[in-house]
A and B are shown apart, each in its own frame.
Chain A
Amino acid sequence: MGTFCHVDKNAFPIEVGLCYILPRLEVGVMAVNAEPQVFLFLSEILGQPLIGPEGRPVGKIVDLVATVTEPYPVVTEAMIDREEQRGDLFLCRFPEVEEVRLPIHADRTTADDYRPPELRENELLLKDSLLDKQIVDTHGAKVLRVNDLQFLMARRCLHLVHVDVGFRGLMRRSGLEKLVDLFLHTFFDYNLPNQYISWKYVQPISTPDLLRLKITQDRLARIHPADLADIIEDLDVNQRSAVFRSLDVETAAEILEETDPKIQVSLIKDMNAAVASDIIEEMSLSEAADLLGDLPRDKAEGILKEMEQDIAEDVKELLAHPEEEAGGLMTSAVLHFLPETTVEKVLAAIRGEAEDMDFIYYVYVVNEADRLLGMVSLRELLAAPMAARLADLMDERVISVHLDEDKDEIAELFAKYGLMAIPVVDDLGRIKGVIPFKNLLEVVAPHLGKK
């Protein structure tokens, strides 16, 4: 399982970890080893009293505040519930501790160390925002629930290093760890492993604020769009739109292309037209048209108005055709040239437009009236001399379909001729667009897996 690091206390990469934690100190490995380090769980700290200077409990620890720093957040404050007045919460600076000793003693705490329970920038309430909540494991691309948080005690501070997502953590929290161990050991000779995820791969998602934390910003963007789309489908509606809104326009467009149409609609419906149009412009034309077709009419019109004129025109053209016919499957971004164009010019044009094209592997040759004459593949272009004209290279036996051709017929053509794309023409044989194989696959694929 690549998802989890099965860490025991000895296997933790102390050198790596501490060098990050202590960038200012030039620590040698010897010095590091001399430092006592201990692991501690959040669940062990919560509910414990914080012992003040006079040896009397100041109150009960109900949460911990961590400042988010690279690579691991450091616990800076404890949220205290005063015993005498329940519900009266305040923050107290987390004492520097030499070794883990519960309850925690705050011997040198002074009045300056207290503050009202309001978070500053880049601070995080650990129990409130992580414990028992969902997170995204950006390494394994999964949504998981946090059973516990594990701290490393180093340099007198607690560093949040691991998130516990395993069954063992769950059993520990419910006080059944020993019982389950005994049971599994006796009957199955099995030791229940710990399942930790390094903080480096954790993206908290329980509130929209967490998605704006400086440190965590690009963690989601590192996930493959198809995986991130699956994750978004797993989230609840509120988290879903929060995560979606935290993404940059290009990632958002890629995610949209990968998600289920129903979810696409719910994500876009609540956005204002200007933001939505920026995202939709980044999508492939045919995907954009499908999405707009699924939206309520006034919303779709609003977005179309905000979009760049030429993209909007192309999308409208696609919208005019049913989704399951050639006209609805095609993208109108198609490379076509006159027969006398030279290879050099064609290649320059491809270079210039490749960014905005869904499909560049075939170029089509047309006459002045846009009537389809033939096609040339990118391979042939690259192999041909720069001065050659398309008229000499083109294959005139080009397979094309009419705008209203049905998807099943198109699928048969793809299979028969082994093509990567099929151009679409109107009644007069004028080229209107091209159907890349990927577009067809999206329509046909849902029917393939069914038994």
Chain B
Amino acid sequence: MSERNEEGKKVNIFRRLFQKRFWRSLGLLFALIGPGIITSNVDNDAGGITTYSLAGAQYGLSLLWTLIPITVALIIIQEMCARMGVVSGKGLSDLIRERFGAKITVYLMMVLFLANLGNTISEFAGIAASLEIFGVSKYLSVPVGAFFVWWLVVKGSYKSVEKVFLVACLFYVSYIISGFMGKPDWGEIGIALVTPTLSADPAFLTMAVGVVGTTIAPWMQFYLQSSVVDKGLKAEDYAYTRVDIIVGSLTVNIVAFFIIMLCAVTLFQQGIRIETAKDAAQALAPLAGAYCTYLFAFGLLNASLFAASILPLSTAYTICEAFGWESSLNHKFTEAPQFYGLYSLMIVLGAAIILLPNMPLIGIMYYSQVINGLLLPFVLIFMLLLVNDRRIMGEYVNGRTMNLITWLTVGILILLSLAIVITSLLPA
């Protein structure tokens, strides 16, 4: 073989290697902005949007400042989850099962199932409410929505599903646009954002606690850690993951900021009382224009559909992982019956309960919030014990400062979630 030919081949190999590498780095960039952003955005679900709307409509800008500590807490907690996922290669329910045994895990999973079912119901309520604004009956929108969600996940591959989810994240922009439509006074808002306001009014405190509770929910720690593991992220990618989480936590709170702010500068100033996100959307029309209502409703629809796809999926994954059942979208129904069974059960129950006449929806949401509030302390304590376990985390355990910050954060969150439970159980 001639010299020239040999040379040419070498160049060719290198070009090919380079090309692959280039595409891989580009792929890596997109691959790494998955878990954190998706998890955070799902958190702005129907329940979240309702809570933010109510907070803005009832208390104006006075709760806006809570978003800053919430963002910090969210970053701290999600960072630990992602770190555990990257280092151990295992999901949170997997680690809890291995470290704390079968009994605790069985009860934890039962409670998680109930809590997530409650959340799923509220997502379907969100689908119904948002489409009613567009004049679609809930007897049409809920079954179609349920079928869409089920079809998307069962028939699509994980990759295509994730892409759909990332696109859904973009639609949250509709809240930012509608926020500007309210013609806010930025100076006043800026001051409100950095001025901690507290009031001894129990209703005010309940609302503050509600805003925290809706942003930091038990299921998301499980979901985030599993998706980090699913991505096969390794310790060397961890720096990117941290960015992903920070960006995710910031965007979720930016969206929350715009919702609270919009409702504050419109509904609160006009003294309009609302009870649901749907009320909020409808009340916006005379104040900020019909498009604002549509954008608000569209955002609610997107958020509800998005969360209704992820919550049942995450629940099924988490439970199957804890009990060692086959859990993957790449298997057929007969190969992973528990996984598909749980997934379908949550969607069917979630949609059916909305369609039943005379269902005490408000009551269901209240209790689902109570269960979430009861569950969160356990999950957080388990997380802290796990993240400090050298047998699992090796050198990646929390440092002393980090431990101080996390225990403090977790302590406050535990107090707040207990407060949610107590206030929810007290007669209104």
Contacts and interface: CB of A to CB of B under 8 A. Distances in A.
B13 A316 contact: yes
A414 to B, nearest CB: 25
Interface in A171-185: 171, 173-176
A142 B336 CA distance: 12
Given A237-B89, A239-B89, A297 B102 contact: no
A294 B19 CA distance: 10
Interface string B4-23: 00000100111011101100
B88 A236 contact: yes
A134 B320 CA distance: 13
Say whether chain B's binding surface is mostly helix, strand, loop, or mixed.
helix
Interface of A (DSSP majority class): mixed
Contacts of A451: 155
B12 to A, nearest CB: 4
B229 interface: yes
Contacts of B101: 131-132, 173
Contact of A320 (B12, B90, B97, B229): B12
A300 B14 CA distance: 11
B427 interface: no
A147 B325 CA distance: 12
Contacts of A145: 97, 323-324
B227 to A, nearest CB: 14
Nearest to A237: B89
B98 to A, nearest CB: 5
Given A237-B232, A293-B20, A174 B13 contact: no
A133 B392 CA distance: 13
Contacts of B326: 142
Contacts, number: 70
Interface string B96-126: 0110011101110000000000000000000
Contacts of B18: 297
Contacts of A294: 20
Interface in A287-318: 293-294, 296-297, 300, 316-317
B102 A174 contact: yes
Find the residue from B13, B14, B326 having the highest chain A CB count within 10 A: B13
Contact of A143 (B12, B323, B324): B324
B262 to A, nearest CB: 43
Contact of A175 (B98, B103, B105, B232): B103
What 10 pairs across the A-B complex have the smallest Cβ distances?
A145-B324, A236-B89, A237-B89, A173-B102, A174-B106, A297-B17, A320-B12, A174-B103, A236-B90, A319-B13
Given A132-B98, A134-B324, A170-B106, A238 B16 contact: no
A411 to B, nearest CB: 22
Contact of A173 (B13, B16, B103, B234): B103
Nearest to A206: B98
B9 A317 contact: yes
A228 interface: no
A112 to B, nearest CB: 31
29 contacts: A132-B97, A132-B101, A144-B324, A145-B323, A165-B324, A170-B102, A171-B106, A173-B106, A174-B103, A174-B106, A175-B103, A176-B106, A236-B88, A236-B89, A237-B232, A238-B88, A238-B89, A263-B232, A293-B16, A296-B21, A297-B17, A297-B21, A300-B17, A316-B9, A317-B9, A319-B17, A320-B12, A320-B16, A451-B155
